[in-house]
């Protein structure tokens, strides 16, 4: 099931060790790197399918590594970070990281994120443009959504927000990215509108809009469509 190579860049040998064990149990091959330079070399020589990057590396800050990697590779990157660094998380996501996990974390959480990140970013075959999130199905081609098989009426902005989230289903999408995609670049900071649209959407797609199970909030960062 999980055949692929994962590159773990972390200066803590114990973290590398348990990550190796965990991903090998899941059937992955694991490469290790103890610092940014070694990680970059490893990523160049033997391109992995996924990079897990610790942000607290001694030789270089996380943002510059993500930036460097993105100049020549589209490999999914999951960053390991600590709490209270929401701005940094947003910045890394904008630079091209795919997701983040906050330390300390249970391994199940990381493996689940890794599986989502390893899936191709948009549906492979154009013949199946339907994204599923629980009872919600979003058809990216004829731009419609159904809930439990019944079509729901969405306003144009509501559909667009859902569309952008569905393209990245399971992944966190920053508010800034959503604002740019839905309202255009000049309104990236007027997130009040985004919140109104999200609230309206939740009323239409969630069983209990105050306890969302499909359209989830990543506090301080953005939103995620559940998978």
72 binding other proteins? (CB under 8 A) = no
Secondary-structure breakdown of the chain: helix, strand, coil percentages, each rounded to the nearest 5: 40, 20, 35
211 binding other proteins? (CB under 8 A) = yes
Instruction: Name the CA dihedral angle for 75, 78, 80, 85, rounded to a multiple of 10 degrees.
Output: 110
CA angle (3, 93, 102) in 5-degree steps: 70
219 binding other proteins? (CB under 8 A) = yes
Restricting to residues 11-30, name those near other proteins by CB under 8 A: 12, 14-15, 17-19, 21-22, 25
By rule CB under 8 A, what string of x and - marks binding of each residue 137-176 to other proteins?
----------------xxxxxx------------------
CA-nearest of 121, 10, 8 to 74 is 121
Q: What's the full length of the chain, in residues?
A: 227
Which segments of 26-134 does DSSP mark as H helices, in order? Answer: 36-45, 62-72, 86-95, 107-118
Q: Which stretch binds other proteins (CB under 8 A): 28-36, 41-49, 135-143, 187-195?
A: 187-195
82 binding other proteins? (CB under 8 A) = yes
Give the binding site for other proteins (CB under 8 A). Answer: 12, 14-15, 17-19, 21-22, 25, 56, 80, 82-84, 86-87, 103-108, 153-158, 183, 187, 190-193, 195-200, 209-212, 217, 219-220
């Amino acid at each position: 099931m999980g055949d692929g190579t994962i590159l773990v860049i972390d200066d803590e040998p114990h973290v590398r060790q348990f990550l190796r064990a965990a991903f090998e149990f899941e059937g992955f091959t694991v490469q290790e790197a103890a610092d940014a330079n070694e990680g970059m070399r490893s990523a160049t020589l033997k391109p992995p399918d996924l990079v897990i990057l610790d942000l607290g590396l001694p030789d270089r800050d996380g943002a510059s590594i993500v930036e460097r990697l993105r100049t020549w590779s589209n490999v999914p990157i999951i960053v390991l970070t600590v709490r209270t660094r929401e701005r940094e998380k947003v910045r890394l996501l904008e630079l091209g990281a795919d997701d983040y996990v906050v330390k300390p974390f249970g391994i199940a959480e990381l493996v689940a994120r890794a599986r989502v990140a390893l899936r191709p970013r948009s549906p492979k075959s154009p013949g199946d443009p339907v994204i599923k999130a629980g009872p919600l199905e979003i058809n990216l081609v004829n731009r419609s959504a159904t809930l439990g098989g019944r079509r729901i009426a969405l306003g144009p902005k509501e559909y667009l927000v859902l569309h952008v989230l569905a393209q990245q289903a399971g992944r966190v999408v920053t508010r800034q990215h959503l604002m740019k995609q839905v309202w255009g670049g000049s309104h990236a900071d007027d997130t009040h509108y985004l919140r109104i649209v999200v609230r309206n959407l939740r009323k239409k797609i969630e069983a209990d809009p105050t306890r969302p199970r499909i359209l989830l909030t990543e506090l301080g960062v953005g939103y995620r469509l559940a998978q």
